[in-house]
Structure 1
Amino acid sequence: MKKFRIFFDIEKEEQWLNEQLHKGYYCTKVSGWGVYTFEKTLKNYVIRLDYRDHLSKEKFEEYKEIYEDFGWSCIKGPWMSGIRYWQKEDDGQNEIFSDRESKRCYYKRLMNYSFALLLLFLMLSYSTFRDSGLYMTQGLWSMKGSLFWKAFIFETPFALIRLFPPIMAILFGCSYYKTYQKYSLLKEE
């Protein structure tokens, strides 16, 4: 079974994946385009997600061995950086962040990830809108009648595409803020 979902919150993605596991569907593959592949299973599994910044191949192998020693298997996870998907049979010891400090470090990594993507999409937004507005057709707003409507309807899909970077910047800004709140709570206590 394949399902398509896009997430901007790693914790909501993890929650959704665990809901699928509770329904009896074992995750076998995660694509970068939001396609999740599941197989039916009778066993109880749990999945956890982790984000790591750049790791050398040696550090990645060490990181992977530590998880595998505790029964986790990696469904997806690039060795350089990105979100790692860890899955194992439910044995009651299902957390990968066992203490406050490791959880705090996890949120700090997520904050850096969200902030980097926020900056990227802000720069893309600036480059998209610095010379023109949302609609780029010259004289669009001075056109009359059916000529205006034809040009407006033709240009609208392109205008919506130009809105993508600012929308993504807002989403990653919200993600940064939520993660910062969680990080601050763990830092203060």
Structure 2
Amino acid sequence: MKKYKFYANVIKEEQWLNEQLQAGYKCTNISSWGNYTFEQTNEKYVMRLDYQDYLSTHRFEEYKEIYEEFGWMHVKGSRFGSIHYWQKISDNRDDMFSDRQSKSNYYKRLMNYSLTFAIFFLVISFIIYDGNPLIVKELYLTQGLWEMEGSLFWKAFLFETPFVLLRLIPILILFVSAIQFYMSYMQYKKIKEELSR
């Protein structure tokens, strides 16, 4: 079974993947373009996502070996700073980060990942929108569109609207990244407060 989804929010992506696994599937492949491949199974699987910054070849192999010793299978992720997808048969020890300090470190890495995405798409948005991303008229590039009347206006307007929606994707990703940063920050802050008690 193949499903196509795009997530900018790692937490939501993990929730969705686990919903698929609970329905009796296991994940066999994840492409960079949102193509998820599943196969039916009688086992109950669980998936966890982790973000890691750039790792040397040696550190990357160590990172994988540590989790593989605990039964996790590395589905996807590279050593060049990416989200790593880990899957295993559920055995009531399904949390990758068992102590508060490792959870705190995870949310700190997730904050950095989200912030990087947000800054990148903020810069892209300013380049694309020339500093005016929310002025709807500026997003429609058809000459004289707003002076047209009747059916000619509606044909031109409806024709260009899908392209306008595509131009809004950087703003959407910026918004989702900012929300993910905020959610990660709140979790990080909560765990830090628990650790300081």
* 1:29-49: CA deviation from partner (whole Å, max 9, x where unpaired): 111222211112122322211
Residues 1:91 and 1:52: Cα distance change in structure 2 (over 3 Å): same
- The equivalent residue for 2:73 is 73
Residue 154 (structure 1) aligned to one of 148, 159, 171:
159
- The equivalent residue for 2:111 is 111
Name the CA distance, whole Å, in 2 between partners of 1:27 and 1:33. Answer: 15
* 1:125-177: CA deviation from partner (whole Å, max 9, x where unpaired): 11111187212233332334444344333332222221111121111111111
Tell me, yes or no, if structure 1 residue 183 matches structure 2 residue 188: yes
Give matches, 1:130-149, under 5 Å: 130=130, 133-149=138-154
Any gaps of 5 or more consecutive residues in structure 1? none
Give TM-score scaled by structure 1 length: 0.90
Residues 1:156 and 1:22: Cα distance change in structure 2 (over 3 Å): closer
* 1:56-88: CA deviation from partner (whole Å, max 9, x where unpaired): 111111101111111111011112111111112
Residues 1:25 and 1:141: Cα distance change in structure 2 (over 3 Å): same
- Superposed displacement of residue 12, structure 1: 2.4
Query: Comparing 148-157 with 61-70, which one deviates more in the overlay?
Result: 148-157
Preserved CA contact (<8 Å) 1:117 1:169: yes
Preserved CA contact (<8 Å) 2:9 2:176: no
Name the CA distance, whole Å, in 2 between partners of 1:44 and 1:183. Answer: 30
**Aligned-pair identity (%):** 54
Name the CA distance, whole Å, in 2 between partners of 1:36 and 1:166. Answer: 25
Give TM-score scaled by structure 2 length: 0.87
Report how many residues are paired: 189
Residues 1:81 and 1:42: Cα distance change in structure 2 (over 3 Å): same
- The equivalent residue for 2:135 is none
Give me the CA root mean square deviation: 1.9
Q: Supply the AA of the counterpart residue of 2:159.
A: F
- The equivalent residue for 1:171 is 176
Preserved CA contact (<8 Å) 2:8 2:173: no
Name the CA distance, whole Å, in 1 between partners of 2:22 and 2:165. Answer: 38
Misfit runs of 4+, over 6 Å: none
Tell me, yes or no, if structure 1 residue 51 matches structure 2 residue 51: yes
Residues 1:140 and 1:22: Cα distance change in structure 2 (over 3 Å): closer
